[in-house]
Amino acid sequence: MIITVDGPAAAGKGTLSQKLADKYGLAYFDTGMVYRAVGLMMLKQTLELSDACAAQKMAGELTFATMMELSRDKDFRSSIGGQAASIVSSYSGVRAQLLDMQRNFAKNPTFADGSPANGVIYDGRDTGTVICPHADVKFFITASSEVRAKRRYDEFLQKGMNVLFDDVLRDVKARDERDANRKDAPMKPAEDAIILDTSDLNIDEVFQKAVAFIEERLK
Ligand code: DC
């Protein structure tokens, strides 16, 4: 089974995906990681994020193992890492280089320990439209920018990071703006996606709704 979970930054894609992966025994691919990895490689090598050619080259050199290694870096999930990812992900050459790596994962999905999974859950904003248009179930998770900024702000605080809410909100809006205007992977639900607005729902409510849709689809 292949499930895709698309939607804007901090809408709750990751939490929902993890819970669904656990319930259905699916391997989880957080596709934002490929862009975070390329962005971080650029930063570490002090390359200009505006250099699309350099970013494309970095993307071509990225392996799954390198991505996993970079994911342990303190900047990988930080606001700086998110901005860098957002910038490099706007280059079509970068996206093209990273397509096979993401698609190939579904051919032989495994968990981190190498054991086989029942399928994959892809988390990321173009997974239902570009990466896996033939997925069995597609979700598009959204919420207002204020609600999303508050969730991200709380996450940062929990991790002990010192941030201001207004900065996080500005960051979320800047990313929305950039992501919405991308030519090759604009932020839009797949035609057959189930749209879930999570602004007024807690994670358990979102999860229950998603499970109900999946059970219906599996009948
Ligand atoms: O989900 P995230 O915050 O880790 O994503 C980081 C950036 O990567 C985000 O600003 C846009 C980009 N991204 C993308 O373009 N396509 C995806 N499938 C996932 C993420």
- The reported pLDDT for the residue numbered 149 is 95
- Which amino acid is it at 207? F
CA 204 to ligand 1 centroid distance, Å: 24
- Residue-wise pLDDT for 5-54, tens only, equals 999 888 989 999 999 999 999 999 999 999 999 999 999 999 999 999 99
Quote the pLDDT of residue 186: 64
Q: Please work out whether the CB of residue 124 comes within 6 Å of at least one atom of ligand 1.
A: yes
Of the residues 4, 5, 31, which should be mutated to test ligand 1's pocket, given the most ligand atoms within 8 Å of the CB? 31
Measure CA 167 to chain center: 21
The answer, yes or no, to whether any atom of ligand 1 lies below 6 A from the CB of 125, is yes
**pTM attached to this predicted model:** 0.90
The predicted-structure confidence for 130-165, as pLDDT tens digits, reads as follows 999 999 999 999 999 999 999 999 988 998 988 999
pLDDT in tens, 67-118: 999 999 999 998 899 989 989 998 999 999 999 999 999 999 999 898 999 9
User: What pLDDT was estimated at residue 125?
Assistant: 86
Residues 19-57 as b/e (b if ≥16 CB within 10 A, e otherwise) read: bbbeebebbbbbbbbbbbbbbbbbbeeeeebeebebbbb
